[in-house]
Amino acid sequence: MKKINILIADDHEVIHNGIRDILRSNIRYSIIGNAYDGEEAIEKALQLRPDIIFMDISMPKLSGIEAIKIIIKKLPNTKILALTQHDENEYVVQILRAGGHGYLLKNSKKEEFIEAVESVLQGKRYLSNQLSEQMINNVLEQLSDNEITDQEEIHLTRREIEIIQKIADDKSNQEIADELHLSVRTVETHRRNLMQKLKVNSVVALLKYAAQHNIISFD
């Protein structure tokens, strides 16, 4: 019986322990490594060459989406399941365009984790059962539209645009978190991911990009 080697990449130890507990019931699954940020995920993936990677999309140093792009180029046979708390269409599209094979919400049931692993091993794409049929159709439509657009175009999620607008309004991370009903940590992660995605290293450069592309308005 062939072992399925699995790498878990998430910046929360509780997630590592939870996935390990879920998968230990199947003797075919072997957790061969853990990573706690995007850069470490790439390093461990290249070192261990797992069959499956559970990849959080919001991590320190390098986002999971960027890590997926790099890993898929170097390890095309590795299957990557994005693990996230976000259930927005835009994130699903970004994961699939980056080369991810599935999208699993962190609060999914135990059975769904097993189903996701088995599905991608069979060469199928997997989308969480909690995503509605309408959402899945919207994702597929966006993927189809994106395939005929400029591949260098950068697509921002609705939440990311909201964050940029709040930054332009000179809001602090705490104020943004309060107004959008998010944690400060989540806001910080969005800001970090935005900087990485847009390849900028300052708030001034971020706002300049947003203004040039008519992403936000300045009152």
Give the Cα separation of 118 and 92 in Å (integer).
Answer: 19
For 193-208, the pLDDT digits (tens) are 888 888 888 887 788 7
| Predicted pLDDT of residue 152 | 46
Domains, the chain, in order of start with CATH, read 4-146 (3.40.50.2300), 158-212 (1.10.10.10)
Mean confidence (pLDDT) of the chain = 83
Q: Which of 62, 36, 42, 144 minimizes the C-alpha distance to 96?
A: 144
Q: How many helices (H) and strands (E) in the chain?
A: 10, 6
Question: Tens digits of per-residue pLDDT, 3-13?
Answer: 999 999 998 89
Q: Is 58:66 a contact under the CB 8 Å cutoff?
A: no
The predicted-structure confidence for 43-86, as pLDDT tens digits, reads as follows 999 999 999 999 998 888 888 889 999 999 999 999 999 988 77
Place of tokens 């996701």: 116
pLDDT value of position 123: 86
Residue 134 vs residue 58, higher pLDDT: 58
Biggest CA-to-CA distance, the chain: 63
